[in-house]
Every structure is written in C-alpha cells, then in structure tokens.
Amino acid sequence: MDSLYPQPGMRAGLAATGIAEALIARSWQRSVDRYRLDPGRREAPRVLSASALRDHLEPMQPVLELARGALQRLFEQVRDAGYVVLMTDADGVAVCMMHEPRQDRELRHAGLYRGSAWQEPTEGTCAVALSVLEKVALTVHHAEHFRAVNRSLTCSAAPVLAPDGRVLAVIDASALSSPDDKRSQHLVLQMVRQAARLVEDAWFLQSYADQWVLKIGSQQSLVEVATDALLAVDGDGRVLAGNAGFLAASGLQAAALAGQPLHEVLGVDLPTLCAAGGEPGQAALRLQLPAQARPSYGLLRPPRAAAAPRRVATPPQARAATPPLHPALAALAGTDAAMQAHARRGQRLLDKGVNLLLQGESGTGKEAFAKALHAASARRDGPFVAINCAAIPESLIESELFGYSAGSFTGAARHGARGRIAQAQHGTLFLDEIGDMPLALQTRLLRVLAEREVQALGAREATALDAQVICASHRDLLELAERGQFRLDLYYRIHGLSLRLPALRERDDRRALVDRVLAEEAARLGLDAPPIDADARGLLDSHDWPGNLRELRNAMRALLAMGEGGSIGRDLVEAAIRPRAARADLPAPLQRNAHDGFALAEQARALREALQDCRGNVSEAARRLGIGRATMYRRMQRLGVAPPQRLFDPGQAGD
C-alpha cells in the first residue's frame, strides 16, 4: 500500500516533513486502512439534492450572513486566476459558492459546486476534510489528493472556529488547473486564511455583543482596524472567552482561560481598560501577553447596550440588550452555545405575537423547550396545552382540536366538548409533529392562526383565541410542501421564527447533561447519584445517542435500576445503551432520524428491516429507529409497509 502515497517516505518519515505534509500523509493512511477507499474510483464527489442541502443551509444562515463580504472579497482577489471560492459547513458540505458562470458545467463535474460533500470517509484526502478534522489551514495540491479524479485540483482551505473551538465553517479556494509547484499556492492560502480569520472575528464580536470585548494588536495606532486577538470579559472583570488569536498569543487553553479574573491573565483590570478606552481616538493601552516577549496594545469595546465609560473609577456592569435568560430556559440550554442562542432568540420573541417553529430530531426536547418558553412568558399562569398531531387518530383529530357543540354528531357528548385549541386560551398552544397533520385539518388550522379565532364543530359562532402558538416537527416541512403533503401558506404562518434544536451528539455539554440527568433520576428514586468510572465514562462520551435526550433519560434510569449502590462500570453501560456498532447496518436516514430528503423506497426498506430485526415488535422497531410508536405506524401506512401480523406468524408478533 505504501506505493499509493503521494510522495515516497511520507508514511514512514512524518517527522522529517512539514506539518501539512504530515497531516496529508496521515489522511492517506486513514483513507487506505480505515475507509478502504479506491483511489482509482472515477465518479465525481457527491452533490446533495436541493431538499437534502436545505438541512445544511438552514443552520448556516447566521454564519453565511456574516461571511458574504469576506467571501466576495476573496473571490475578487482570486477570480482572474481561475479560482472558485466555497464555504462549507462542519460536515464538509458546500453551502455557498462563488464562480464564473461560464465554468458552471466543468466545476459541477469536478464537484466544485454548492451541495458537494467533501468528507474524508468518501473522498479521502482533500483540503476541506482535513481542515475540518485538524482545524488548520492548508493546501492539498494535485497528487496529494487521494482520489485520482481530484488530482488535477489545487485546494486551499481554512477553518472558521467558534469561540469554544468548534468548527463553524471552512472557506476554500480551488482551481481546476494550476502550476505543478505547490509553492505557487502560498499566496492563495494566505488569502483564504485571512478571509477565515475575518469571519471568525466577526462571529466572536457578534457572539459577545452584550459583553466587553478587548481588541488586541501589535501596532498601537492600528488596533481598531488591525486586530490580532480578541478577549471577551463580563461586567465583573472575568474572562468569558478568547479567540484563536488570543489563545495562540497567550499560550493558554480555552478551558483554563474561561472564568479567570482579567488582571490575572493580562496584569490589568477592567476599570483601567475602561478609563483608557473612554475617549474617542485615545491611544490603546500597552499590554503584555503571557507567551509573547514584545508588547501588545488593547482597546476596549463596550457592550452593545452600554455607552463607552468616561473616566470611571470602577466599570459599570455590562448592560445586556435583552434580559437575562429565564431560569427554565437557562437550565434547558445548559452550557451549549447553540442552545443558549436559541433560548435567547426564543425569549426575545415571547409575547410579541410571533409564532415559533421548533425543529430537530426526535427526542431533542422540543416539548421541554416549548414548556420553558411558556414558563418564561407573560402567559406563564395560563395553561400549556400540548397536542401531538401524529398520535391522535385521524378520525378524531378534528373534534379533538376544535371541539364540538351539543348534538353536532351521533355519539357526541350531551353538552358538547371544548377543543384542545380553545383550552389554550390565555396560555400556550404547542402543536407537536405538525408535519403529520392531515391536509384537511391544515386548512382549518390556517384559518385559526390567520383570524385568531376558533369555531367548534356544529357551532354557529367562533371564539376569539388569545394564545402563544409554538409548533414542532422533525420533518422537512418545505419538502413536504413540495410533495403536496403540507400547505405552504401554513408553513409561512407558523414560521415566524424557526429554531433547530441540536441533537445530543452535537451538544458541547453532553457530559454535563449525562451527570445532570443521572442526578435527577437518582433524586426521583430517593438515591444519591453513583459515580461513573473512567471506562464507563468513555463509552458514554463516544455513544452517538440516536434517541437523543429521550434515550439518555431511559439509559440513566436503566443504570440506576441495574446498579447495586456502587459505581457505574462499563458492563452496566453496555447493557443500558445500544452501541454504535450494533446500529451500523441501519440506513443513515433512520440512524439519526434525518429521513427527509431520502428516497421513499429507502425509508420503506429501513422500516421493513427494523421490523424483521425486532420480529414484528413495532415498539422495539420504533425505539431502534429513534421515533415514536404512533409515528412508526403512520409511516408504515404512508409507505405501504405491511403491518407485523402480515409479515410474521401472529403468535410471534408483539407490540
């Protein structure tokens, strides 16, 4: 296999080569040994369909809005040399592309196109995949690409990092042809790195818009416009975060930096910085970063809602543009940056007549999030009415939602019944799995939301409705609308603001969530939470939690039930969770409940195989697929999958 590597000795002599070359060599090794890829495979990189691409585009919109200017500037710098500019998400999927239209067909054939997926398990060594994996800027040039079909390309990529170190995006400049000498790409790589740094700094400044931010540079007169490092500080003078430039210049780790008093990090306190930055045009204050011999200079940017302080002896508390998070939302968001951002946005729109749409995989806590929003709203003393549109039989859903008057149909209650929507008066109405609502009911719901009144079956008059409306779905509602299964006008009515709750595997605070849920379940049983040993902790950390928070809570209950008062070991964890390897044969659309955008035939096959594996037990099959039993039955009906009694001996089928 050594002959496959792009240059002799790369695999064996990593220490003798540069950092980028060593990373490329290791990627080649993974491509051969781990992914078993064929370098001679000729087909172009995969390009996602429009519906599948939407799943990647939506969460990237905030980053795209910040990045467009930097991407356009980069494209203008390199377009005349035949380069295109891509931005991908952290999965390596291109969500933005800038190119000359005349190259369109050639670029699409080469995989340099919006929606193309540049991932190491499928493409092998390539710049985007390495930039995501290693969090470094580098060029992969010509034959350094693993797949032969990519070896005419030169690609320079740099990651855009969030304040917590996660990869937000990757910026890439690629050309279909270029000189053989890799050194010709040095300037392009510097331009790409600079563009990524601009976006990274813009994201940092936006993320901490409500806090004090110290801008640090090496030139005293240019700090305001030429920043080398950024440091966010709260009103008490404690460090919240530093960007990658600050971490590199200070030699500190992000985890060690957070929460430290500013004066212990830089030898200067917040009052001094406030005073130095109090007058327009005032010179930056001289600073000494721990890992640098030469001095740096800093200017303090005040919080968005606070005016710059003028010669104060002590710093004012940073006034937030919005109130602090309500405790119910803060507890739910934990320390995950995405959840905190969603909680802030949701709270900001409460009591303003804006309908909210919560999206995310099954089990990510959409109903719990809706309850927390209700608790944070002015309607907290009113009812919270949750309706699962997938769980109500279609024949009953109309009367269940809208209610009925006395004598409106045979079998109706003597005095009629108040519908669930009307029960939410002066409170919050939560419509879960709205994508499974029948079309006829969607029309009636649209009228309710448009006119803010509800009319019971058989009633002559409508009743005014005063309720906050929150809807939720794990399905792609726009794709359903394209297939004629969901009303587009209803989508835009419920989509005042859309929030996609991250899957448990995507959350930064997974370990803390495990501990918190374990403690909650132990308290419910009147027990102390047992310690988790290192091997068990490693297994919990590596598990991808396809059932998300619902699976986590059930697993913690199982661990407590099986434990005997001692610590939780690996054997208990293996018994409580289904390892990733045991699910490897399940199709991707149902492994992670992201079925939308996949062929209906593939979904039907996944349902049949899950039922066969579970010997017809629908509940067990639904659990393995990470969906509810009612949703399982509905999908079986929609996709024409025979019910268990037709697939198996009735004596063996269970539920």
CATH number at residue 363: 3.40.50.300
Name the one residue in this structure whose structure tokens are 């919270």. Answer: 384
Domain assignment of residue 174, yes or no: yes
DSSP label at 261? B
What separation in angstroms does the CA of 594 have from each of 24, 148, 626?
32, 32, 10
Overall number of domains in the chain: 5
The residue to which tokens 């931010």 are assigned: 213
The structure tokens 């308290």 sit at 523
Residues with Cβ < 8 Å from 524, sequence gap 6 or more?
Answer: none
What is the Cα–Cα distance from 426 to 380, expressed in whole angstroms?
A: 9
Domain assignment present for 310: no
- Tell whether 652 is covered by a domain: no
| Residue type at 493 in one-letter notation | R
The pLDDT value given to residue 323: 63
Instruction: Say whether both 348 and 286 belong to one domain.
Output: no
531 in helix, strand or coil? coil
CA dihedral 22, 26, 27, 28 (to 10 degrees): 100
Based on the domain organization, do 226 and 136 belong to the same domain? no
Domain that holds residue 118: 2-194
Do 297 and 356 belong to one domain? no
Two tokens, residue 566: 């001692």
Give the Cα separation of 99 and 86 in Å (integer).
Answer: 9
Q: Are residues 297 and 347 in the same domain?
A: no
Both 113 and 11 in one domain: the answer is yes
Q: Look-up: residue for tokens 């990519």?
A: 150
Closest CA to 268 of 248, 290, 253: 290
Assign residue 179 the CATH number of its domain. Answer: 3.30.450.40
Q: What is the pLDDT of residue 598?
A: 35
Residue 503 three-state SS:
coil
Let me know if residue 386 belongs to a domain. yes
3-state helix, strand, coil in the chain (%, to 5): 45, 15, 40
* Residues 88 and 144 reside in one and the same domain: yes
Determine the distance from the C-alpha atom of residue 484 to the mean position of all C-alpha atoms in its chain, rounded to a whole number: 28
**Cross-strand pairs, 180:** none
The DSSP call for residue 452 is: T
Distance of CA 525 to the CA centre of its chain: 33
Are 102 and 186 part of one and the same domain? yes
**Would residue 52 count as lying in a domain?**
yes
Q: What are phi and psi of 456, to 5 degrees?
A: -70, 155
Burial class for 196, CB neighbours closer than 10 Å (0-12, 13-18, 19+): buried
Residue of 415, 481, 398, 490 whose CA lies nearest to 446: 490
Answer yes or no: do 482 and 625 share one domain: no
Residues 372 and 487 in one domain: yes
Q: At how many degrees (to 10) do helices 366-376 and 337-349 cross?
A: 50
Distance CA 447, CA 439 (A): 13
Torsion over CA of 370, 376, 379 and 384, rounded to 10 degrees? 30
User: Does any domain span residue 653?
Assistant: no
DSSP-H helix ranges across 50-161: 50-78, 104-110, 120-123, 127-134
Last residue of a domain, one of 194, 216, 237: 194
Which 3 state secondary structure label does DSSP give 312? Answer: coil
Q: 65 and 178 share a domain?
A: yes
What's the token pair of residue 93? 């999927």
Quick one: pLDDT at residue 469? 92
Look at residue 308 and tell me if it is in a domain. no
84, part of any domain = yes
Cα distances (angstroms) measured from residue 518 to each of 368, 503, 541? 17, 19, 14
At which of 500, 528, 556 does a domain end? 500
Q: Are residues 597 and 575 in the same domain?
A: no
Listed as ranges, residues in the chain with pLDDT below 70 are 1-17, 276-283, 290-291, 293, 305-323, 394-395, 406-416, 564-565, 578-602, 626, 628, 630, 642-655
Three-state DSSP state, 549? helix
Out of 561, 583, 605, a domain closes at: 583
Are 29 and 131 within one domain?
yes
Query: Cα(276)–Cα(545) distance, rounded to whole angstroms?
Result: 50
Phi–psi pair at 535, nearest 5 degrees: -65, -40
